[in-house]
Amino acid sequence: MASHNLLLLPGDGIGPEVMGEVKKVADFLGKAGVATFETETDLVGGAAYDAHGVAITDAAMKTAMEADAVLFGAVGGPKWAKVPYEARPEAGLLRLRKDMQLFANLRPAICFPALADASSLKREIIEGLDIMIVRELTGGVYFGEPKEIVTLENGEKRAVDTQVYTTHEIERITRVAFDLAKVRRNKVTSSEKHNVMRSGVLWKEVATRIGATEYPDVELDHHLADSLAMQLVRWPKQYDVIVCDNLFGDILSDIAAMLTGSLGMLPSASLGAPDAKTGKRKALYEPVHGSAPDIAGQGLANPIAMISSFGMALRYSFGLGQAADLVDQAIADVLASGARTRDIAEKGANAVSTTDMGDAIVAALKRRA
């Protein structure tokens, strides 16, 4: 049975609570003979600051670099509002992304039938939705230089951010999107604004070339980012994989996320380049939500986003697609049975606790395994 090294970084707030439920799922898969997971746990964010004065230690970073995958809970909270900027909780996540060179952010937006009525859109628009947004994570306008605010001679200020992309950066992110499409519904929509941005012109050109030369069997179309934003709320099911830059991806993935309901349901993956020798990508999996200090420690957190993030690790880091399907099905079963944590429960309806939800998912796994 294959064994995989997993670094668990629960972090702050509800992070440790939702990570606890992932451990149950991993233990079950081990006992069921699917795969064993050698897990190590370390501190990140405010918890690391309290213990070591930094948002992540060099030792934890080293473990992360050597792990087959990192599972990250969430960081931050009011307790650390005044810590030095370089040691703020988010710095731990930023260092992980930077040192592991995680350039591809994968955000699935899946609507479980049982939750279709929780969406702000009509059931027929959202039911059965299953799209994937691939966002470039390490380039573009958030990082391009110059990035500054200068004072002009007349005393006025001038702020500059720079949108920069190279051929190589666009090639590698579009390849991630095409590879995903091949194991999904074979369709990529590349999004930029080539009508007003030079980086958009290059983006479209490179995506077109990669599609034509390396993935001729995958359908490729191009949507301007503003029009795509409208289409996402009009008829999102027309899409399969959407690929876009850092800025547009930030916005479009949040729109797509909210189509499906609660933050407590949304997983994500961040992937690096394949290793030249092993072909393995560095990878970090995390729920989209934060540390939710308002509900931390009360057993109210929904662990599904964290458990689904582990499901993505099974699929994208460990080649355990069947086990990932099993986890997805178990979550769907539990939702279909009516179990809801407070964030996805109807007003006034009874809600289950974090641990109850985790236990129910493990029980559903047992029934299906």
Selecting among 254, 275, 294, 366, the annotated active-site residue is 254
* Pair type for strands 104-110 and 267-274: antiparallel
Q: Output the smallest distance, CB 290 to ligand NAD, in A.
A: 2
When the beta carbons of 306 and 323 are compared against ligand NAD, the nearer one is 306
Selecting among 226, 325, 356, 359, the annotated active-site residue is 226
- In the annotation, is 221 catalytic? no
Show the tokens assigned to 263: 């933050």
Selecting among 24, 27, 99, 142, the annotated active-site residue is 142
Selecting among 27, 99, 161, 250, the annotated active-site residue is 250
- In the annotation, is 250 catalytic? yes
Q: Output the smallest distance, CB 268 to ligand NAD, in A.
A: 9
Alpha carbon distance 122, 106 (integer Å): 25
- In the annotation, is 85 catalytic? no
Looking up tokens 């979550």 gives: 331
When the beta carbons of 253 and 302 are compared against ligand NAD, the nearer one is 302
Q: Output the smallest distance, CB 319 to ligand NAD, in A.
A: 26
Question: In this structure, which amino acid lies at residue 172?
Answer: R
Alpha carbon distance 159, 49 (integer Å): 33
Give Cα 197 to chain centroid, integer Å. 27
Segment (H or E) for 148? strand 144-151
Q: Output the smallest distance, CB 91 to ligand NAD, in A.
A: 11
* Pair type for strands 267-274 and 130-136: unpaired
Q: Output the smallest distance, CB 216 to ligand NAD, in A.
A: 38
- In the annotation, is 254 catalytic? yes
How far apart are the two ends of the chain, measured CA to CA in Å?
16
State the DSSP string of 296-327: TTTT----HHHHHHHHHHHHHTS--HHHHHHH
State the residues that interact with ligand NAD by CB under 6 A: 14, 18, 74-77, 93, 263-264, 286, 289-295, 301-302, 305, 343
When the beta carbons of 214 and 294 are compared against ligand NAD, the nearer one is 294
Q: Using alpha carbons, select from 286, 247, 291 the residue that is nearest to residue 270.
A: 286
Alpha carbon distance 305, 318 (integer Å): 19
When the beta carbons of 167 and 298 are compared against ligand NAD, the nearer one is 298
Q: Which single residue brings its beta carbon nearest to ligand NAD?
A: 290
When the beta carbons of 105 and 199 are compared against ligand NAD, the nearer one is 105
When the beta carbons of 285 and 316 are compared against ligand NAD, the nearer one is 285
Selecting among 12, 68, 193, 285, the annotated active-site residue is 193
- In the annotation, is 193 catalytic? yes
Show the tokens assigned to 219: 């359908």
Looking up tokens 């307790």 gives: 79
Q: Output the smallest distance, CB 92 to ligand NAD, in A.
A: 9
Show the tokens assigned to 308: 């689904």
Residues involved in catalysis: 142, 193, 226, 250, 254
